[in-house]
Amino acid sequence: MSSLNPKTYDSVPAHKVAFLGLGVMGYPMAGHLALAGHSVAVYNRTTTKSADWQKEFEAQAKGALRHAATPREAAVGADIVFCCVGNDDDLRSVVLGDDGAFAGMAKGAVFVDHTTASADVARELSKAALERGLHFIDAPVSGGQAGAQNGALTVMCGGDAAAFARVQPVIATFARAVTLLGVSGAGQLAKMVNQIAIAGLVQGLSEAIAFGQRAGLDMNEVLAVIGKGAAQSWQMDNRGKTMIEGKFDYGFAVDWMRKDLGLVLDEAKRNGARLPVTALVDQFYADVQQAGGRRWDTSSLITRLK
């Protein structure tokens, strides 16, 4: 079974690109680049995944595909290097050092980072890139595994406008919206806004469903009705039914959400924003982790209320 759903790709000149990190998100994102006609070199820490990736896409790719033993080797010859790893430290480990991507990139090449990381690391790596004659765009994504598989992610970018203009049509291979929101770090800050908006909303939806169930209502029927009114949300449409059923296998893991809320709360300490509900929901997610839900998806907040 394919790991992605092919889509109709806009015609853009073929690029030589690299992709570092073939996880839940990176594997299909890199796959879309291959199917769209770009030459793709991949790197993954666990090398069996890179070999599997090449095997899966080789027959349908128009450009050359290869897998490399280090980020540096993958980056050689690429005009754009994409990346989607776990956190700030993982990102530094694939970018910097003798085997890091920056060591292999030619002057003028652009590094596009899709990891959800801090705005600080984006600024730090952007500065390091400039010192080497490279460009760095922070470009975290929203849309989850399904968005990556369908090539329909929302991408929030920060960095230099000219470098962004070069990479935007290539990012669009796996995205439905790719927007520059400001200087380096602005993409990560926008992703933090996204996570703040989601955290409180999922807790509200959890309370609503748990309340309705205690009241003896048919919650599928109730959500079908109120989902057509002002309470409608993406979470209600996509997770409401599975929350009612107590199924939490549908996407973004609680561990990742805690990482993201940690980034948010650190940034709020610096900029003075008050986030009382977000801080509380972060602690609720810690409860879910303790109850064994580290890999459950974020809608599992409702388990605390059962």
Q: Can you give the binding site for ligand NAP, defined by CB under 6 A?
A: 21-26, 44-46, 49, 84-86, 90, 93-94, 115-116, 141, 144-145, 251-252, 256
Q: Which residue among 49, 62, 191, 259 is the active-site one?
A: 191
Radius of gyration of the CA atoms of the chain, in A? 20
CB 46 to ligand NAP: min, Å: 3
Per-residue DSSP letters for the chain? Answer: --SS---PPPP----EEEEE--STTHHHHHHHHHHTT-EEEEE-SSHHHHHHHHHHHHTT-SS-EEE-SSHHHHHTT-SEEEE--SSHHHHHHHHSSTTSHHHHPPTT-EEEE-S---HHHHHHHHHHHHHTT-EEEE--EESHHHHHHTT-EEEEEBS-HHHHHHHHHHHGGGEEEEEE-SSTTHHHHHHHHHHHHHHHHHHHHHHHHHHHHHTT--HHHHHHHHTTTTT--HHHHHHHHHHHHT---SS-BHHHHHHHHHHHHHHHHHH----HHHHHHHHHHHHHHHTT-TTSBGGGGGGGG-
Choice between 42 and 210, CB closer to ligand NAP: 42
For tokens 């006609």, what's the residue? 37
Tokens of residue 300, six digits: 């599992």
- Distance in angstroms (rounded) separating the CA atoms of residues 138 and 130: 14
What's the rounded Cα separation, in Å, for the pair 207 and 258? 20
Nearer to ligand NAP among residue 35 and residue 83 (C-beta): 83
| CB nearer ligand NAP, residue 213 or residue 235 | 235
Q: Which amino acid is at 57?
A: F
Nearer to ligand NAP, 8 or 46 (CB): 46
Nearer to ligand NAP, 195 or 303 (CB): 195
For the bound state, the minimum distance from the C-beta of residue 174 to ligand NAP, rounded and expressed in Å, comes to 12
**Shortest separation between residue 22's beta carbon and ligand NAP, angstroms:** 5
Least spacing, CB of residue 87 vs ligand NAP, in Å:
6
Could you confirm whether 191 is annotated as catalytic? yes
| Smallest separation, CB 228 to ligand NAP (Å) | 27
Residue type, 248: F
Query: At its nearest, how many Å lie between ligand NAP and the CB of residue 299?
Result: 12
Q: With respect to ligand NAP, which residue has the nearer C-beta, 208 or 281? A: 281
Residue number closest to ligand NAP, CB atom: 23
Active site residues: 191
